[in-house]
Amino acid sequence: MLSEAQTNEIKMMSQKGREIMVKYLGEQDTYIEDDIDRVVISWRKSEKADKENSDEIIGSLGAYLGELLIAKHDLVWCVYKDARGSDLCITHKKIAVQTFPHSTVYKAAIEGREYAINDVSKALLEQINEHIDNIEIKTH
């Protein structure tokens, strides 16, 4: 679970992510993973003076992607810790399936992996569907 401060920061970053979505795609009621991919591609190609820096894109669109996936797939934010450190991730509420929205946006924005965001979303859904009813899969 995240602290209240972390939760508030994610919400603010996600709102900024939505503003970036509107800036690059125009106002829509909802956006999907493909839309985030399109924004990242447009951002990479942009030469405008008011272009966001990479940290803004990764932080804001990563939070927005996380919130989008949470709303769709019964997930929650958490902090994943291992020998290399800790990172924000989202995990399924019942099974031990995680993904890292900020890292996903990093790969798309910095490494230039076009459509990585949609690919990660599809892989996450496949993992959830494959394991949700399997009693041998680790649960929380």
* pLDDT attached to residue 79: 93
Among 96, 78, 55, 71, smallest CA distance to 6 is for 78
CB 57 within 8 A of CB 43: yes
What is the phi/psi pair of residue 84, to 5°?
Answer: -85, -10
Indicate whether 135 pLDDT > 70.
Answer: no
Sign of the torsion angle spanned by Cα atoms 104, 107, 108, 109: positive
pLDDT at 1: 75
3-state secondary structure of 96: coil
Q: Which domains does the chain have, with CATH numbers?
A: 4-131 (1.20.120)
Q: What is the pLDDT of residue 139?
A: 56
pLDDT band at 33 (very low <50, low <70, confident <90, very high): very high
If you average pLDDT over residues 55-77, what whole number do you get? 95
pLDDT of residue 140: 52
This prediction's pTM: 0.90
